[in-house]
């Protein structure tokens, strides 16, 4: 095993897991709306889903994408559309909130995304796919045995990803405790809708800008 590559991969993973991306933004918004405990199924789904994407990339999915570049365009459009749909849901929550029996605290209109939704989303998450293809290509020399290579890369990615996911969900959960109900709930839903919509626009820009380079 090449320990220099392992050290490089750890740094690569931490950068990817701690910086903003669709999964982290979704987890922060879920933490704000529902609290940390309701984020746990989504976090577990991200780990399983991204492990499958990584394994597929190492086994040759990246080569297939190179042969059929339109695949990335489809992924970019699907990811942006999914995030746009999510943002619309937050806008609806902000402007047409349901209320509790007491009639004073808006209750969430949507249920939080769960384990299987998180697994499915990893296959249309542009940031995740880019990191998976990059790792499969750049760290091919981390181990000669392909099974061990998959195990090492998946474990390191998931360890760093778990740290990032938990931190972003906890940030949202902290806001949930500090600002809940009434006008704060309206503002949070509106803000998160705008942030998620901006992420969808960024994904479209980054995806199509890459095609023109």
Return phi, psi of residue 117, to 5°: -65, -40
Return d(Cα 71, Cα 77) in angstroms, integer. Answer: 10
What pLDDT sits at residue 102? Answer: 47
What pLDDT sits at residue 124? Answer: 79
What pLDDT sits at residue 213? Answer: 45
What pLDDT sits at residue 98? Answer: 54
Return d(Cα 146, Cα 50) in angstroms, integer. Answer: 18
What pLDDT sits at residue 49? Answer: 94
Domain boundaries, the chain: 3-212
Q: How far apart are the first and last CA of the chain?
A: 35
Number of neighbours of residue 158 by Cβ within 10 angstroms: 19
What pLDDT sits at residue 47? Answer: 94
What pLDDT sits at residue 166? Answer: 94
What pLDDT sits at residue 63? Answer: 67
Which residue numbers in the chain have pLDDT < 50? 101-109, 212-213
Question: In the predicted model, what is the mean pLDDT of the chain?
Answer: 78
What pLDDT sits at residue 179? Answer: 61
Could you tell me the pTM of the whole model? Answer: 0.76
Return d(Cα 212, Cα 51) in angstroms, integer. Answer: 30
What pLDDT sits at residue 44? Answer: 95
Q: For 72-83, how does the pLDDT look when each residue is reduced to its tens digit (9 = 90+)?
A: 777 778 878 888
Q: For 11-54, how does the pLDDT look when each residue is reduced to its tens digit (9 = 90+)?
A: 888 887 888 788 888 888 788 878 899 899 999 999 999 999 99
Query: Which strand (E) or helix (H) includes residue 76?
Result: helix 70-95
């Amino acid at each position: 095993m090449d320990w220099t590559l392992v050290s490089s991969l750890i740094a690569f993973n931490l950068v990817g897991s701690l910086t903003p991306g669709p999964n982290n933004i979704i987890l922060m918004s879920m933490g704000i709306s529902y609290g940390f405990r309701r984020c746990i199924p989504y976090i577990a789904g991200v780990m399983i889903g991204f492990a499958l994407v990584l394994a597929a990339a190492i086994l040759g999915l990246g080569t297939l994408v190179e042969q059929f570049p339109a695949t990335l365009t489809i992924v970019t459009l699907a990811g942006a559309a999914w995030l746009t749909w999510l943002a619309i849901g937050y806008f609806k929550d902000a402007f047409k909130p349901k209320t509790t029996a007491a009639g004073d605290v808006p209750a969430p209109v949507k249920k939080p995304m769960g384990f299987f939704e998180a697994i499915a989303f990893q296959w249309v998450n542009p940031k995740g796919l880019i990191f998976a293809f990059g790792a499969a290509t750049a760290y091919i020399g981390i181990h000669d045995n392909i099974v061990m290579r998959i195990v090492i890369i998946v474990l390191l990615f998931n360890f760093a990803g778990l740290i990032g996911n938990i931190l972003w969900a906890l940030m949202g959960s902290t806001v949930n405790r500090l600002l809940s109900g009434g006008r704060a709930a309206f503002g949070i839903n509106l803000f998160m809708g705008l942030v998620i919509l901006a992420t969808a626009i960024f994904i479209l820009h980054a995806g199509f800008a890459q095609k023109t380079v």
